[in-house]
Amino acid sequence: MSLIGPLLLATFLFCVGIYGIIARRNAVLVLMSVELMLNAVNINLVAFQNVLFPGEEAVSGLMFALFIIGVAAAEVGVGLAIVFNMFRNRATVNVDDVDLMRW
């Protein structure tokens, strides 16, 4: 199997994620974009492990992907709580409205 397919998919997802973070103003959608970027990383890791280093004793790529899934869940949990708290205080989740402090 060739690496081209998975790597292209991962790069595409990663770029979509970066675009989302820059262009989206809704904090929840920004969170989703971050998730896309993390999933791109997972695709990378699993593809490298299976194509470049198959049958190795140390499955560090797969382990890494598992840890990223776990940590990403924790991160999004905390992130949603922060966004939710923001919404309760200010009735908005638009990141442009978060501008009390500058310089």
Partner 1 sequence: MSIDFLAIAPEIALTVTALIVLAADLALRGEAKQLVNPIAAIGTVVAIVFTVILYGSERVTFGTMFVVDDYAVVFKLLFLGTLLAILGISWRFFAEGRYFQGEYYFLLLTAFIGMLIMPSARDLLLLFVALETVSIPAFVMAGMRKRDLYSSEAALKFFLIGVLSVALMLFGMSLVYGFTGSTDLVEIAAALDGETASVPLLLGSVMLVIVGFGFKVSAVPFHFWAPDTYAGAPMPVAAMLAVASKAAGFAGLIAIAFIAFEPVADVWGPVLGILAIITMTIGNLIALQQRDLIRLLAYSSVAQAGYMLIPFGLARTGSTAVNEAAVQAVLFYLVAYAVMNIGAFGVAIAVNRRTGLRSIRDYAGLASRNTLLGLGMTVFMLSLGGAPLTVGLWAKFAILQAVAVEITLFGVILAGFLVLNSVIAFFYYLRVVKTIWMDEAREGMPALQPGFNLSVVVVILMAGTVLLGVLPGLVTDYSSVVSLLATS
Which residues of the chain form contacts with partner 1 (CB under 8 A)? 14, 17, 21, 27, 30-31, 34, 37-38, 40-41, 44-45, 48, 52-53, 56, 58, 60-61, 63-64, 67-68, 71, 74-75, 78-79, 81-83, 85-86, 89-90, 95, 98, 100-101, 103
Q: Which amino acid is at 60?
A: S
Q: Hey, what are 85's tokens?
A: 């708290």
CB of 52 to partner 1, least distance (A): 6
- CA 33, CA 82: separation in Å to the nearest integer? 16
CB of 98 to partner 1, least distance (A): 5
Q: Hey, what are 52's tokens?
A: 């470049």
- CA 79, CA 87: separation in Å to the nearest integer? 12
Please answer whether residues 46 and 67 qualify as being in contact, where contact means their C-beta atoms are separated by less than 8 angstroms: no
CB of 9 to partner 1, least distance (A): 13
Q: Hey, what are 20's tokens?
A: 């989302």
Nearer to partner 1, 8 or 90 (CB): 90
CB of 28 to partner 1, least distance (A): 12
